[in-house]
């Protein structure tokens, strides 16, 4: 829970974002998510140049899955570090991050793949019907897209916002081509774990706001 002082600082920060951005093209549910990303990164380009792209069903599908206790599969522990821990505790979401398991390293070496690829392949049962959150590894995102195309998983939502130079922008372009799978992504090389976790925190806040109304 936020302290009163902490909440006042956050509120002031959000108001500064509102004042500096001014008008935008996001709707009433998209904008709180984009604003939370800007708040977590201090990067205003997420509102325009590196703008956030929403599949038409992304927010509704993500909200429904998360509030019903779906698994949250992440690519790296850094994403977990940015989560508001009270949310998965309250809604019963199991957080899965396999990348540091010794058997993942062994299998990745054996198959000539990255740990990120293998960690996603070993989380099939949690990805199917779950929410996937990728903020660091483009190869993880590419692997999930492959699994979707193979018809072996049907995630409720893919948050694909990996940062980097090799395949980061390209992996997000491929994600944006999916028509039947809800996703949230962005343009370009920017992204990262803080952006990915901010998206999930914002969706949980939308769930709480909706429940309170």
* Residue-range definition of the domain harbouring residue 120: 53-212
Contact 92, 115 (CB under 8 A): no
Q: Which of 35, 36, 39, 115 is catalytic?
A: 39
Task: Tell me if 41 is assigned to some domain.
Answer: no
What number of other Cβ atoms are within 10 A of residue 17's Cβ?
17
Residue 155, SS3?
A: coil
Residue 108 falls inside a structural domain = yes
Q: Is residue 32 part of a domain?
A: no
CATH code of the domain in which 145 resides: 3.40.50.10230
Give domain status of residue 14, yes or no.
no
Tokens read off for 45: 């380009």
- Distance (Å, rounded) from C-alpha 157 to C-alpha 73? 11
Tell me whether residue 6 is in a domain. Answer: no
Residue with tokens 């509030």: 67
Global pTM exceeds 0.85: yes
> Residue 48: inside a domain, yes or no?
no
Is 24 a catalytic site residue?
no
Q: Does any domain span residue 12?
A: no
pLDDT per residue, tens digit, the chain (213 aa), is 567 766 888 889 889 999 998 888 999 999 999 999 999 999 999 998 889 999 999 999 999 999 999 999 999 999 999 999 999 999 999 999 999 999 999 999 999 999 999 999 999 999 999 999 999 999 999 999 999 999 999 999 999 999 999 999 999 999 999 999 999 999 999 999 999 999 999 999 999 999 887
Does residue 37 sit within a domain? no
- Report the number of distinct structural domains present in the chain: 1
**Which is nearest to 97 in space by CA: 59, 137, 67?**
137
């Amino acid at each position: 829970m936020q302290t009163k002082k902490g909440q006042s600082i956050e509120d002031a920060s959000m108001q500064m974002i509102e004042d500096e951005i001014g008008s935008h093209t996001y709707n009433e549910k998209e904008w709180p998510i984009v604003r939370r990303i800007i708040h977590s990164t201090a990067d205003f380009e997420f509102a325009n140049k590196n703008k956030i792209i929403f599949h038409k069903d992304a927010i509704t599908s993500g909200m429904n899955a998360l509030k019903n206790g779906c698994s949250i599969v992440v690519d790296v522990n850094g994403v977990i570090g940015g989560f508001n821990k009270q949310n998965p505790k309250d809604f019963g979401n199991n957080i899965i991050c396999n990348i540091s398991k010794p058997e993942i390293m062994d299998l990745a070496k054996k198959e000539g793949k990255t740990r990120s690829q293998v960690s996603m392949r070993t989380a099939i049962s949690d990805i199917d019907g779950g929410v996937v959150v990728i903020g660091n590894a483009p190869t993880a995102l590419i692997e999930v897209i492959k699994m979707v195309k193979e018809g072996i998983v049907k995630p409720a939502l893919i948050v694909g916002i990996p940062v980097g130079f090799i395949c980061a922008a390209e992996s997000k372009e491929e994600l944006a081509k999916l028509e039947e799978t809800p996703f949230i992504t962005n343009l370009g090389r920017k992204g990262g774990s803080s952006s990915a976790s901010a998206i999930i925190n914002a969706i949980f806040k939308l769930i709480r706001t909706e429940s309170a109304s």
